[in-house]
Amino acid sequence: MSNDTQLTSLSTLAVEIDALNEQANIYANQAVIYAAKSGQKLLLAKAQCNHGQFKSWLDENCKIPYETSRKYMRLAKERPELLNSNWALNPILPSVTQMIELLSADEKVNEVVTAKIEAGEDVTIKEIQRLKKEAADLQVQNESLQNDLMSKVQRLDESEAKVRFQKITVDAIEKQNDELRNRDQQLIDAKVGEERAKLILENQDAIAQAKREAENAKGELERLKKDQEKSIKDGVSRELHSLQSDIDQKRYQLEQHEKDVEALKKTKSELDAEVGLLAIH
């Protein structure tokens, strides 16, 4: 493209831009349409200017302020539907300032504000900004709730994995205990005596300990599940009730563990007596 052609083209664009700007001022209800069309012409002009020269060209050739031109070009780029001739048929449209403010709003806010404008309500820029802030705050709250739920799900998964691990540990110890019991029974019969009997008791203690840990892990899993159900369904008021139930359950488990200890002590006494008899023979 020659310099003469470029100069002629820019001159034509300047006239068109000013004409469209005047139409935007005359036709207030259709202002946003003409503003977007003006932005489209401004984009064409800017594309023909050398880098950094657009503002100077605009100041010298057009009446439209530079900051206004930036808003118009943004409308043309981000809301190209405004350039569609069908939009001009709409009886009520957002103002230029309303439409520019809505460019940074989400789809829901756009729908609400557009519906209010089409219903003939006077929607201020402050109200649009308030709706945008409320939508942003709600998004933050939703993300926080999702993160909290994901954290609880992760804790549940970890607790379930711990229970599975404890079950595997219990099974392995019981298997080892069976093998040791068979071996140690032969040694006891051969009057090897007390040390092997103690080994059996030690393994029984290990089994009891592993079972206690498994029960504790299961209790923790149930507590976490109750916490999740409480936070989602019951609310804060039922959390205390759930915690009290957990305390009652742990007290019951403690009583059962104490009974198991007494039973183990009794078994040890019987084994000691048996070992004593074997030693005598």
- Between vectors from CA 200 to CA 210 and to CA 189, what angle results, nearest 5°? 160
pLDDT value at residue 189: 62
| 2 φψ region: left (φ > 0), alpha (ψ -120 to 50), beta (else) | beta
Q: Which is nearest to 129 in space by CA: 157, 97, 159?
A: 97
pLDDT value at residue 108: 86
Reported as a single tens digit per residue, the pLDDT across 229-244 is 666 665 555 666 766 7
Residues of the chain with pLDDT under 50: 1-5
pLDDT value at residue 25: 57
Task: Give, to the nearest 10 degrees, the angle between helix 125-189 and helix 107-118.
Answer: 150
Tokens 């829901």 sit on residue? 108
Cβ-defined contacts of 152-158 (< 8 Å, 24+): 152/224, 152/227, 152/228, 152/231, 153/228, 155/224, 156/221, 156/224, 156/225, 156/228
Cβ 265 vs Cβ 257: under 8 Å: no
pLDDT value at residue 76: 93
Determine the Cα–Cα distance for residues 277 and 281; give it in Å rounded to an integer.
Answer: 6
Residues 6+ apart with CB under 8 A from 9: 1, 48
Report residue 273 as tokens.
Answer: 């007596």
Cβ 206 vs Cβ 264: under 8 Å: no
Cβ 168 vs Cβ 213: under 8 Å: no
Reported as a single tens digit per residue, the pLDDT across 113-157 is 778 877 767 778 787 888 888 888 888 888 888 887 777 777 777
Dihedral (CA of 234, 238, 239, 242) sign: negative
- Between vectors from CA 184 to CA 181 and to CA 185, what angle results, nearest 5°? 80
pLDDT value at residue 272: 73
pLDDT value at residue 2: 44
- pTM of the predicted model, to two decimals? 0.42
pLDDT value at residue 29: 67
Determine the Cα–Cα distance for residues 256 and 270; give it in Å rounded to an integer.
Answer: 21
The number of beta carbons lying within 10 Å of the beta carbon of residue 119 is: 9
Q: Return the SS3 of 21.
A: helix
Determine the Cα–Cα distance for residues 200 and 184; give it in Å rounded to an integer.
Answer: 8
Domain spans of the chain, in order of start: 3-94, 152-280
